[in-house]
């Protein structure tokens, strides 16, 4: 009898979960429909404004409107199409971690090149990362910005979630820093300024990134930087650490280093023999730390580690840590053991120091110190304008930053070039997966329920594969809805 009651209770719970999932699906569907109608009106209105400003001929006016209508029709077809892995040729793997992988792919129909991020649904569920991965998808779908990696599609099958994003062949800031060791203040200033614009753009949409690090700052083929979240390694799990306390007394820092089991270079007292040794040690371990199952906490703000509650200002701390690494060669609280790094961050007042041989300008040091500080005094707490106004950034032309030549131009040989990324071998042959059509909706699994509403298609994906019909014109070429980025969620 007890077993029967237990079965009834499990069945009832599953039914409620299915009801909640169905409710969410219906709400998302009608919300997406209303948004699509509004976006379509805005695309038409924007094109009309552009045509009026350019004073095009009546014939040109009608042709461009017809182009837009054809693209809208193609977009409706795309929305009905159930996208799956079989729609893409799977190419080189450029990233791998505990949750999945990133690889280059080519869309079969359009020939367009993308980066495909594939995540294991079971891993997301078992590690409590469902909300994290949904937030990433929502951020990429909702925030339309030159400073953010563009999302074109998202979909799922029985085992995986997929994000199809623009491929940026210039590599990431981590790779650039490993190759260059340190950047000049001129080069660092350019990339810090672009990072500020990227972080500001997500804050304006009420998102906190919480994982700003060099690995997530990607470079396009011209060297301009965009913010992403390709960190497939496990987010730092502090649950196994002793509780971190801000008022903890660290009387014997040497004892902390015993946790590293002799992996640090020989020390003279409480200091490294030289900053060059610390730089070399960081270089050797950097990529291993980036893709380990633990992850690196080097860029995490103290208020996040202390679990006190935090806001957008935690991203500005991360920017300060990145700026320090760009100019010094390693992050400010570097240690082999993540716990030691966390403790150094929490006690940043005792551990934020600059090497004697570092040649940072007074303005650069000041900005770093005003980002790596308590929340109340941290620049950016009241908006990115506080940071933009700092003397170290006084010569930045913010409106033209993405129009000028980048501070560093990566070597890129063709659209499929992956030389700026680490290569990974295939573990298993890439398997074909079914889409999200009726055949797999018969059995609704726990994974399906958790990720209802994950599917997404961007209008710009249609524009890439169906450009406007060619015509002779004395006017500058136009693309329907230039500057508009209407999106669709299903």
Can you name the residues that pair with 225 across neighbouring β-strands? 219
Q: Is 213 annotated as a binding residue?
A: no
Tokens of 372: 């790596």
Told to judge if 39 belongs to the known catalytic residues of this protein, a careful annotator would answer no
- The single-letter DSSP state of residue 179 is H
Phi, psi of 18 (to 5 degrees): -65, -40
| Neighbour-count burial for 371-403, b at 16+ CB within 10 Å, e otherwise | bbbebeebbbeeebeebbebebbeebeeeebbe
CA distances 86 to 34, 74, 76, 210, Å, are: 30, 20, 20, 34
Cα–Cα distance for residue pair 129/145, rounded to 1 Å: 25
Number of H helices and E strands in the chain, helices first, is 17, 11
Q: Which of 360, 379, 361, 381 is nearest to 371 (CA)?
A: 379
Residue 205 in contact with residue 143, Cβ under 8 Å? yes
Residue among 67, 172, 211, 229 flagged as catalytic:
211
Handedness of CA 371, 374, 377, 378 (dihedral sign): positive
User: What residues have CB less than 8 Å from 154, skipping those under 6 apart?
Assistant: 137, 140, 141, 161, 162, 163, 164, 454, 455, 456
Task: Give catalytic residue positions.
Answer: 211
Instruction: Please enumerate, by residue number, every residue annotated as part of a binding site.
Output: 117
Instruction: Please enumerate, by residue number, every residue annotated as part of a binding site for ATP.
Output: 117
């Amino acid at each position: 009898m007890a077993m029967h009651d237990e079965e009834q209770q499990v069945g009832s719970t599953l039914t409620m979960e299915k009801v909640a999932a169905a409710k969410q699906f219906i709400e998302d569907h009608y919300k997406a429909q209303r948004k699509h109608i509004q976006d379509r009106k805005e695309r038409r209105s924007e094109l009309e404004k552009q045509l009026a400003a350019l004073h095009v001929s009546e014939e040109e006016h009608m042709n461009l409107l017809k182009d837009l209508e054809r693209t809208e029709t193609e977009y409706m077809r795309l929305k009905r199409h159930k996208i799956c892995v079989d729609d893409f040729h799977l190419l080189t793997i450029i990233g791998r971690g505990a949750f999945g992988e990133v690889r280059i792919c080519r869309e079969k129909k359009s020939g367009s090149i993308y980066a495909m991020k594939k995540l294991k649904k079971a891993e997301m569920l078992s590690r409590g990362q469902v909300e994290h991965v949904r937030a990433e998808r929502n951020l990429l779908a909702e925030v339309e910005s030159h400073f953010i990696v563009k999302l074109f599609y998202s979909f799922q099958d029985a085992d995986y979630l997929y994000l199809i994003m623009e491929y940026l062949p210039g590599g990431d800031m981590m790779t650039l820093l490993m190759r260059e060791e340190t950047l000049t203040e001129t080069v660092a200033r350019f990339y810090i300024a672009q990072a500020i614009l990227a972080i500001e753009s997500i804050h304006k949409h009420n998102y906190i990134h919480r994982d700003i690090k060099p690995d997530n700052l990607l470079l396009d083929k011209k060297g301009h930087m965009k913010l992403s979240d390709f960190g497939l390694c496990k987010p730092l799990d502090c649950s196994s650490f002793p509780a971190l306390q801000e008022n903890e007394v660290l009387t014997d820092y040497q004892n902390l280093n015993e946790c590293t089991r002799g992996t640090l270079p020989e020390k003279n007292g409480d200091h490294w023999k030289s900053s060059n040794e610390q730089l070399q040690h960081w270089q050797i371990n950097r990529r291993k730390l980036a893709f380990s199952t633990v992850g690196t906490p080097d860029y995490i703000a103290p208020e996040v580690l202390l679990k006190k509650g935090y806001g957008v200002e935690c991203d500005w701390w991360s920017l300060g840590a990145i700026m320090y690494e760009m100019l010094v060669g390693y992050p400010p609280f570097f240690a082999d053991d993540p716990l030691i790094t966390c403790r150094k961050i929490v006690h940043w007042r005792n551990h934020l120091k600059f090497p004697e041989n570092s040649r940072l300008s007074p303005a650069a040091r000041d900005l770093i110190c005003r980002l790596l500080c308590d929340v109340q005094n941290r620049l950016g707490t009241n908006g990115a304008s506080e940071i933009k106004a700092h003397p170290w950034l006084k010569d930045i032309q913010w409106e033209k930053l993405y129009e000028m030549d980048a501070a560093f131009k990566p070597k890129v040989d063709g659209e499929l070039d992956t030389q700026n990324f680490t290569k990974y071998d295939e573990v298993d042959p890439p398997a074909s997966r079914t889409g999200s059509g009726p055949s797999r909706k018969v059995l609704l699994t726990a994974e399906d329920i958790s990720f209802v509403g994950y599917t997404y298609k961007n209008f710009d994906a249609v524009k890439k594969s169906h450009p406007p019909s060619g015509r002779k014109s004395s006017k500058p070429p136009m693309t329907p809805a230039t500057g508009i980025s209407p999106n669709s969620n299903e």
